[in-house]
A and B are shown apart, each in its own frame.
Chain A
Amino acid sequence: MNSLSSRLLVSVSVLLLFFFGATTAVLDRAFTEAGEQARQDILDGHLVGLLAAAEPDETGRLVMPERLREPRLERIGSGLYAEMRAVDGTVLWRSRSALGFEIPAGASLDLGEHRFTRETLADGTPLLTLSLAVDWELDNGASQPYVFKVAETLDGFNAQVAGFRRQLFGWFAAVALTMVLAFSMLLRGLLKPLRQIETEITEIEEGDRASLSGQFPTELKGVARNLNLLIDSERARSDRYRYTLDNLAHSLKTPLAAMRALLNDREGGDFSRRYNEQIDRMDEIVRYQLRKPAASADQLVLVPVPVEKEVARLIDGLRKVYRDKQPEFDVRIEKGMQFRGDTGDFLELAGNLLDNACKWCARRVRIAIVPSSGRSAAASGMVLTVADDGPGIPQEAADALLQRGMRLDESTPGHGIGLAVVKDIARSYGGQLVIQQAADLGGAEIIVSIPPVSAG
């Protein structure tokens, strides 16, 4: 029930059911009432016919003619019956059609009363009856009360009503079903832009798209525009952060460098040495703080970094820096591998690890980047492994770095700041760092695992 379309569909279905239910009930009632009225009118007609046919005989008693004009009263079991009773209920006459039936007498009537009732025959057939109590005035002025009654079975009528109901339900059900179907199709069409927004946001998250396309209906244009603004401001914020850091780095470190130069000019012995130590400390703090991760896994927009290209750039650079050593690079990168995050952060990860490896290796450096847990290369986490054939990192130093975290004044010489930065970045992307001995090369092997960006 969490989707808009199912909510709409259910509400519309309920509404349709209610509407059609009410309509059906009203129509049914109208049809039945009209039908019953028609029946009553017919019965009334028959009763009038009976009264017209009745004649007093010579003894002054009313008698019915041998044959009546209404053929249904003459046919046995036709469903239309008539009788004439005395006031005490004695049957004086009964139509031929009622041969073998006993028409229920019903409640007694007052003179002149004209009453419709529903009764049932002995076999359960429902009847609509019309009774009339009349005071028949004879020629001699005397009068005699009689009760005339006509009855018609309702079998036919009920069947007609049932047929009408079947038809009514059938048609309404068909119409309702068609409407629900049509509505759900309409909904698909209407909700298509929403689905498109969803798709485009996913594409932005995966970095395949810079902003929402803007090809949306008027009602969604505002949402799309605001989302784009949000994305832009997020990007701007991240850029501004980087820019500020850059400026801070430059404006702090150049004076530090100048201070050091001035000190060295003085050749101040112990004073100069102690000052230099303080400058080193300040430098380390600045370096460490300024190289903190720029992005993190929970950032709104992560642009995928083409890992292969960036590593190639790094290795080209490092070949220059370590030209004397000429390390042999063994690069194993899964085709199309991407890192979902900040390019600078990726370069920090790979750059620090490769730089350390080049520094410590005898000759060989291996870098491998594969997707985590065998997913496809495009939308997965990343496992970055850098190994060398150098002396490796002592277990205590590795443990200290991983457990205690970075203590600036106790950093592992040569590996310290670089690894601390790598650890920080890995952590900010929800990943982790493992330091071990490379089985093949024998030196340090550092494994950084970054989990996939969690969807949605």
Chain B
Amino acid sequence: MPEFVEGRIRYNFPDGFYILRLEESAYYIKHWQHFAEQNGGGGNKECDYVVFDPESKTLWLIEVKDYRAAFRTKPSELAVEFSQKCRDAISCLFAIKLSKLAQVEEKASIHNLLKAIDVRCVLHVEQGVRSRLFPQIIDPKALKDSTKIRLRPLDPHALSGDAAVLEDRVPWGIAI
């Protein structure tokens, strides 16, 4: 079972799953980031994990936010940022497939991934317990609604929440 660590969170993906860290991709680092900075005003945003389940042919776009560790993104901007990351990840995958500047090995590595027939977006947010009036920084219901509204054109059933919410809904293990 391939294990990936994001801060204090560990993900165990089932054997056979293909896991891509776009930010580590040579094409992304050499060309795509620069391309986006030059033309996008604000640059490119990438999801933490792009995961392919070969059995169901599902492409999972996963973003991780651990508010126990750092407060980087304002809650009101979380869904917007996540939707931009999903959009940019999909664009980057196709750029790797089509651009002559992408290396052959890299093209080969995403070959299977682009056989996906379904795309699912997952925003994993850990918050911990805060106070009585604000048990969590972000109301999970508000997070769920805002994420579903923003991601609707790509995944009308986009998932968001902590490990307890996600564990029965995603095919990988999460240890927080």
Whether chains A and B associate is no
